[in-house]
A and B are shown apart, each in its own frame.
Chain A
Amino acid sequence: MDWMAWTWPTAIFFAVIATLLITFTVLAIKFPETPRTGILRIETTRGDRLFITLLGSAFINLAWLGIVGAHQPYALIVCLAYAVTVFRWV
């Protein structure tokens, strides 16, 4: 495992993603998903919205880094707003 060069931040990052996936799986078991059609005019389930959120957040973070270039944690606030939007309307 040495060659993979683990660090704490990246380990936490993957742990968070894994936790999210497990949480959504548990949610899907307890409250079965019903697809709905949102503003993108495609059917999405809760899992799809999670994916759109995560992928979008990655791009938001990159954009923040490229354009603002400082105070990276603030980008997470934008991501949160984005997440709410996606889960509410997409």
Chain B
Amino acid sequence: MEKTVNQKAWFLVLPVLLLVAFSAVIPLMTVVNYSVQDTFGNNQFFWAGLEWFEEMLRSERMWDALGRQLMFSGIILAIEIPLGIFVALNMPKSGFWSSFCLVLMSLPLLIPWNVVGTIWQIFGRVDIGLLGYTLDALGINYNYTQDILAAWVTIIVMDVWHWTSLVALLAFAGLKSIPDAYYQAAKIDQASRWKVFRFIELPKMMGVLMIAILLRFMDSFMIYTEPFVVTGGGPGNATTLLSIDLVKMALGQFDLGPAAAFSIMYFLVILLISWVFYTVMTNLDKREG
């Protein structure tokens, strides 16, 4: 759509600008201020320079949390994206069953995040949870509060359970936009199922898939509530992801300086990924006209 140049449109945007400035800019400025100072409570601040940044950059704690975070995001992407596509390909295209699947699949997406945690906390317990009990009965040693591997498996399966539907729904939306004529043509050419997927469905899904990948990456990168409820970051620090560590530091120990320095670096990474996301999106919009 052709847009007209109209500087007065600024007035329509002004309320959003003010509101978001209040709830985003002021806090961010505060974080920057805290990051260069030391405090002993009582709102007494002392200049600390770049000390906290240096400390954070050299602290193994942060790098370990970042490593775990990247591992977590990597694993869930590697599972959720293919699985989501696979589910989308198998969804009924229209009619009652299509709606039926859509509604049931959306269900996990709408559950409060701490309830998602609670559900899996219960589900995985050896004494009262179906999953834990069954695994135990099968003779598999599974205890997510003590065993690191079990803890990781639990939070990953939980995330797959929670968010694969999102990937599937997006992929399904992409699939639905493919005109029937394409399939007809493929049928005439007697293309194999794989070829139909590779040369018709995948290219048409690419746009939404990019959105899905970036969204999942972003959201998993700042995940807090679900793993916190299930494992509390343990056993030890085995499932302490970035946000969990940050909250521990900021609200648990009230270390304003280090937490602020940590926050800034965290936010810079987010800013970078957001920019990639935005660039991809605007290029997609342009291609579609």
Contact = CB atoms under 8 A, between A and B. Distances in A.
A and B touch in the complex (CB under 8 A): yes
Contact of B37 (A2, A7, A55, A62): A7
B271 interface: yes
B45 A65 contact: no
A31 interface: no
Most buried by B among A5, A9, A10, A52: A5
Contact of B47 (A7, A62, A65): A7
Interface string B68-93: 00000000000000000000000000
A66 B29 CA distance: 23
B53 A65 contact: yes
Nearest to A42: B279
Interface residues on A, range: 20 to 34
Contacts, number: 52
A55 B268 contact: yes
Interface in B248-289: 265, 268, 271-272, 275, 279, 283
A5 to B, nearest CB: 5
A16 B107 CA distance: 48
A10 B279 contact: no
Contact of B53 (A3, A5, A62): A62
Contacts of A66: 54, 57-58
Contacts of A42: 279, 283
B268 to A, nearest CB: 5
A49 B50 CA distance: 27
B26 interface: yes
B32 interface: yes
A65 B37 contact: no
B29 A4 contact: yes
Contacts of A2: 43
Given A59-B268, A62-B53, 5 more contacts: A4-B29, A5-B43, A14-B29, A55-B271, A62-B265
Interface of B: 26, 29-30, 32-34, 36-37, 39, 43, 45, 47, 50, 53-54, 57-58, 265, 268, 271-272, 275, 279, 283
Interface of A: 2-7, 9-10, 13-14, 42, 51-52, 55, 58-59, 62, 65-66, 69, 72
